């Protein structure tokens, strides 16, 4: 079987995606900054019957990220699905009037250069398989910039443009690209934004291989 790599794996949507794809027989590579956190998450998933393993890497370190993905593919099997959903840092969310060029370096490293490094690492394996899926998860500011969250808005817009170009260019190779927009917070109390519901949406995007962009709920007018 093949592997799904979840970049930014946590106990919310990351764990839910791991469970959903794991039920379909995927092995799961979990990536985030802290190995102890990943080991705990992998253990919990193992108790649910999911073969998961953690590979520590910071998305702000492209070399570490690509090395972790390489190790995951060698230890678990070819990466057929990449899901990129790390939670942006709070200090990326300054007002536009207070945002300097230097303030954009972190958000762009996080939301553009990080996914670019990850995609370039996994694409050769997907091409060898003859199939693959790249899934990008973003907040509402990816399509409706917010002046109070300038860094993330700008970086998410860049990530969106990058992902959409991949969607158009990789389709002839059998590689699908999709973006899930989640306005507001991921909350178990919201039936449209419960982690399990979002994971089901991402599974459907992988299976249907249809349009590029999906919304967890409509954006407010």
Mean pLDDT for the stretch of residues 46-62: 96
The dotted CATH code for 3-215 is 3.40.50.720
Confirm if 50 and 43 have CB atoms less than 8 A apart.
Answer: no
Sign of the alpha-carbon dihedral angle for 11, 159, 187, 206: negative
pLDDT at 221 over 60: no
Q: What is the mean pLDDT of residues 37-55?
A: 96
List pLDDT tens digits, range 115-148. Answer: 999 999 999 999 999 999 999 999 988 889 988 8
Cα–Cα distance for residue pair 180/198, rounded to 1 Å: 9
Q: Which residues contact 17 (CB under 8 A, 6 or more apart)?
A: 4, 6, 83, 85, 198, 199, 202, 203
DSSP 23-54: HTT-EEEEEES-HHHHHHHHHHHHHTT--EEE
Per-residue confidence at 105, pLDDT binned at 50, 70, 90?
A: very high
For residues 44 and 194, give the distance between their C-alpha atoms in angstroms, rounded to a whole number: 19
Q: What secondary structure does DSSP assign to 88-100, as a single string?
A: PPGGG---GGG--
Q: What is the rounded CA–CA span in Å between residue 41 and residue 44?
A: 5
**DSSP-derived 3-state class of residue 140:** helix
Strand partners, 30: 6, 54
pLDDT band, residue 220 (cuts 50/70/90): low
Please state the domain extents for the chain.
3-215
Dist CA 204 CA 221 (whole Å): 27
**Helix residue spans in 77-194 (DSSP H):** 105-108, 114-129, 150-170
| Structure confidence by residue, pLDDT tens digits, 181-214 | 998 777 777 778 899 999 999 999 999 998 999 9
pTM: 0.94
> How much is the pLDDT for 186?
75
Nearest 5°: CA angle at 193, between 189 and 194? Answer: 60
Mind listing the pLDDT tens digit for each residue in 163-173?
A: 999 999 999 99
Mean residue pLDDT across the chain? 93
Residue 20: its pLDDT value, please? 98
């Amino acid at each position: 079987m093949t592997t799904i790599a979840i970049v930014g794996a946590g106990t919310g949507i990351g764990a839910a995606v791991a469970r959903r794809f794991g039920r379909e027989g995927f092995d799961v590579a979990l990536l985030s900054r802290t190995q102890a956190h990943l080991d705990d998450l992998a253990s919990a998933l193992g108790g649910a019957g999911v073969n998961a393993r953690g590979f520590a890497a910071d998305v702000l370190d492209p070399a570490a990220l690509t090395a972790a993905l390489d190790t995951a593919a060698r230890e678990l099997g070819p990466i057929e699905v990449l899901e990129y959903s790390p939670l942006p840092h709070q200090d990326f969310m300054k007002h536009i009037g207070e945002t300097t060029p230097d303030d954009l370096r972190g958000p762009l490293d996080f939301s553009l250069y990080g996914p670019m490094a990850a995609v370039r690492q996994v694409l050769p394996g997907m091409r060898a398989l003859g199939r693959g899926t790249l899934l990008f998860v973003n907040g509402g500011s990816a399509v409706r910039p917010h002046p109070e969250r300038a860094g993330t808005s700008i970086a998410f817009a860049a990530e969106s443009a990058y992902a959409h170009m991949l969607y158009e260019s990789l389709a002839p190779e059998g590689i699908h690209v999709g973006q899930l927009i989640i306005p507001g917070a991921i909350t178990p109390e919201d039936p449209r934004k419960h982690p399990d519901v979002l994971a089901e949406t991402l599974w459907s995007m992988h299976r249907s291989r249809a349009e590029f962009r999906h919304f967890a709920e409509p954006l407010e007018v």
